[in-house]
Amino acid sequence: MIATLHIKNIGIIDDLTIDFNEGFNVLTGETGAGKTLIIGSLGILCGGRFSKDMIRRGENVSLVEASIFCPDSFMAIDGNIIVSREIYATGRNTCKVNGRLVTVNELKEVMSKVIDIHGQQDNYNLLDATKHICYLDGFIGSTIQEIKEKYQNLYTQYNKIKLELEQNYGDDKEKQRKLDLLYYQFNEIDRAKLKKNEEEELEEKHNQMKNAEKLQENMKILDENLNNGVIDGISNCVRCLEKIEDYGAIYGEKLIELKNIYYDVQELSRDITNMQEETYFDEDEINNVEERLNEISSLKRKYGNSIEEILKYRDEIGEEIHHIENIDEINEQRKREKQNIEKEMNKLCIEMGEIRQKFAIKLSEKINKELKDLEMSQAHFSVRINQLSTNEYNKNGLNQVEFYISTNKGEEEKELIKIASGGEMSRIMLAIKTVLTDVDRIPVLIFDEIDTGISGKAAKAVAEKMKIISENHQILCVTHLASIAAKGDYNYYISKNVKGEKTVTSIRKLNEEEVIKEIARIANGDITEVALQNAKELRKVG
C-alpha cells in the first residue's frame, strides 16, 4: 500500500505530504482544489508523461515521492519501496527506486506491479475494440504469455524477411543502375588504399612542411649548441671528477651520474642531427602530401567523416553488391525461411485461439456476475473472438477480440461502443477491473472520478463493490458522490487557500463528525439538519 505520498511544486500544490492507510481511502473537496493534481502526481510517479506546465509557477523543479509498504516484493527493503521522480523546468527528470537511479521505462515497469490507476481514459480504451484483446490476455495471464512471447519473436523475424523480400531493387535495369553506382563507389574507395591512421600522420607531416624554415633554423641552433658547447662542457666535468674520485665515495657516485648524462646527451645529439636532415623537404614531396590529403578530404565529403567510416561504408557496399548479384538465390532462401516461420506462427496462433476461446467464456461469466452486483442485472456481456486470415498476422496473432453487450432484457447484443452510456461504461470498466485485479494481484487501485454518469442505486452499488475490493487491495478514490464517500474507511478533504500572493492546496484526514458533514455537503450542497441526518443514515449503512 501507499503509506506516504509527498508532492512538491506541482500546479497549486506547494509542499504536500499525505499519510494513507489500508482499505478504502476517499478523497473529496471542492472543484479545482487539487484532487486531480494528486492523482496526476501519482501518474507521474508511475512513469506517466508530464508537462513542464505542471511545475508550480516560479519554481524550477517538481518532486513526487512515495513510501510504498509492499513486504512481498523482492524490491522491498524492510518491507518498503521508496520511489521518487524529480521534474525540472529544462525538461530533464530523475527517477529513483530505493535511492537507485532508474530510467522512466524501468520506473514504469516497477510501478505497473504496484499501482493501477483508473481514470476516464480507461473508459475510452474500452471503446477501442483493438484494445479488447489486451484485456482478455491480461485475464488469461501466464497461461498464454509464454506462447505469445514465442509468437511475437517469430512475428518480428517474419516482418523483417517480408520487408527484405519487398525491397528487390526493381527490375533488371534498376538493379544494374544500382550496381553500377555501388561498383563506382566501391572502386573509388578501394583504389585509394586508405590506412586507418594515415590522415593524422599526413597532417602532422604537412604541418612540419609548412613550418620547415622555422624547424630548420631551430634544429640547427640546437645541434650547434649540443656539439660545440654542451658535450665538451660535460666531458671536461667528467675529467675533473675522475681526478678526485679517490678522495671520497660521493665523488665516484657523481662521476657515474655525470657519465650517464654524457652518454645520454651524445645520443640526443645524434638524434637531433638525424632529425635536422628530415626537416628538408623537396617540392614534389610537399605536393604529394597535399594531393593525398585532398584525396582523403574528397572521400570524406562523399562517404564518411573519417577514414574508419569510409572503410566501413566500403564494406557495406561490398555486402550490398553481393546481395544484389545473388538476389534471386537469396530471395528463394528467404521465402523458404518465411514459409517455415509462418508454419510455426500458425501453430502458435491456433494454440492461442483455443486458449482465448476457453477463457473468453470464463471472462464473460465473471463480468456478468459483477454487472449484476453493479445494478445492471438485465445486461448481458460477452467476449467474441473472430479469426483473421493468414495474411493478417499482427502482434497478437490471428484473433480479433471484441466486447459485446445488451443492457436491457430481450435486446440483441451489439458492439460495446454502440450501446453503453457514460454511467454504464463506468460500471462495465469497474466490473472488468474487479475481475482483473483478482488475477494480477496489484496491491493499490486508484479510481479518479469513476462515479461519472451514475447516481442513485447504481452509485450505491459501485460504492459497495469498491468497498468489497478494498478488503484485499488499498483503494484511493476521488469522488463527488455521497454514497461512495460514505463507504470510506478513511476520508480526506482537499481544499485550496490563499497564502500571501499564492494559492496552495492542503489536505487533512477527517474525523467521524467531519466525515458526516462532508457527506452532507456533497449530497445537498448545504449542510442542513436534514442533510446531516441523511448523511448519518448513509454512513450507518456504510
Percent of residues, the chain, with pLDDT higher than 90? 41
Name the region of 193 (left: φ>0; alpha: ψ -120 to 50; beta: rest): left
Half-sphere exposure of 278 (CA within 13 A, CB side): 9
Helix (H), strand (E) counts: the chain: 19, 15
> Is residue 348 pLDDT above 90, yes or no?
yes
> What does the pLDDT read at residue 524?
85
pLDDT(342) > 90: yes
Domain edges within the chain = 1-114+442-542, 173-325
Alpha carbon distance 409, 380 (integer Å): 8
Give 437 or 463, the one with higher predicted confidence. 463
Lowest mean pLDDT of 54-63, 93-102, 176-185, 209-218, name the range: 209-218
Query: Which residue would you say has higher pLDDT here, 100 or 243?
Result: 100
Average pLDDT, the chain: 86
The pLDDT score that the predictor gives to residue 420 is 59
Give the separation between CA 170 and CA 451, rounded to whole angstroms.
59
Q: What pLDDT does residue 323 have?
A: 84
Most confident of 194-198, 292-296, 359-363, 372-376: 359-363
Q: What is the mean pLDDT of residues 428-457?
A: 81
Q: What percent of the chain has pLDDT over 70?
A: 94
Judged against a pLDDT cut of 60, whether residue 322 lies above it is answered with: yes
Tell how far CA 356 is from the center of its chain.
30
pTM score > 0.75 for this model? no
How far is residue 331's CA from residue 326's CA, in Å, rounded to a whole number? 9
Q: Determine the Cα–Cα distance for residues 416 and 461; give it in Å rounded to an integer.
A: 21
Three-class secondary structure of residue 100 per DSSP: strand
* Lowest model confidence (mean pLDDT) among 129-143, 384-398, 408-422: 408-422
Q: What is the pLDDT of residues 472-505, one digit of tens each?
A: 899 999 998 999 999 999 999 999 888 877 888 9
- Structurally, at CATH architecture level, domain 1-114+442-542 sits in 3-Layer(aba) Sandwich (3.40)
Provide the pLDDT for residue 490. Answer: 95
Q: Answer whether 514's CB lies under 8 Å from 535's CB.
A: no
Query: At 277, is the pLDDT very low, low, confident or very high (cuts 50, 70, 90)?
Result: low
**Cell, residue 297:** 578530404
For residue 100, is pLDDT > 90? Answer: yes
Residue 252 has pLDDT above 90, yes or no: no
Helices (H), 211-326: 212-225, 231-244, 249-277, 283-303, 307-325
Cβ-based neighbour number of residue 365 at 10 Å? 14
- Pairing relationship of beta strands 24-29 and 490-499 according to DSSP bridges: parallel
Q: Which residues on neighbouring strands pair with residue 69, listed in sequence order?
A: 80
**Per-residue pLDDT at 117:** 85
Mode of pairing for the β-strands spanning 2-10 and 24-29: unpaired
- Grid coordinates representing 185 are 563507389
Residues near 453 by beta carbon (within 8 Å), at least 6 away in sequence: 421, 422, 423, 424, 425, 426
pLDDT score for 7: 94
